[in-house]
Amino acid sequence: MASIKDLFKGHMLTGILVGLGSAFILPKIIPVFGGSVKPVIKSALKNAIILADKGKEVTVEMMEAAEDLWVEVKAEIDEEHKSASMNMSDIEEEDNSETT
């Protein structure tokens, strides 16, 4: 089963490939459109980097929250199992005392 981390790895690879492609293509395109395009492209790239960093931060926070919830639920299940096994042992003791 795919985890949340696996979903973001695919997008990360796509982003890296787009970045590498842009690094090779942009130097050839910028002179064609003139110098006025360069600031726009730089601004777009800066915003993309900021957005990617924010996305990573949000993903880490979501993963931490999910892991905390997982631990809480696991602890509740363990406590329920422990309580159920204690109740079963009490019932068995009562059955044994009634037969003697």
Phi-psi region of 2 (alpha: psi -120 to 50; beta: other; left: phi over 0): beta
Phi-psi region of 34 (alpha: psi -120 to 50; beta: other; left: phi over 0): left
pLDDT band at 76 (very low <50, low <70, confident <90, very high): very high
Q: Are 63 and 5 in contact (CB under 8 A)?
A: yes
| Per-residue pLDDT, 62 | 94
Q: What is the pLDDT of residues 32-74, one digit of tens each?
A: 666 677 787 788 889 989 999 999 999 999 999 999 999 999 9
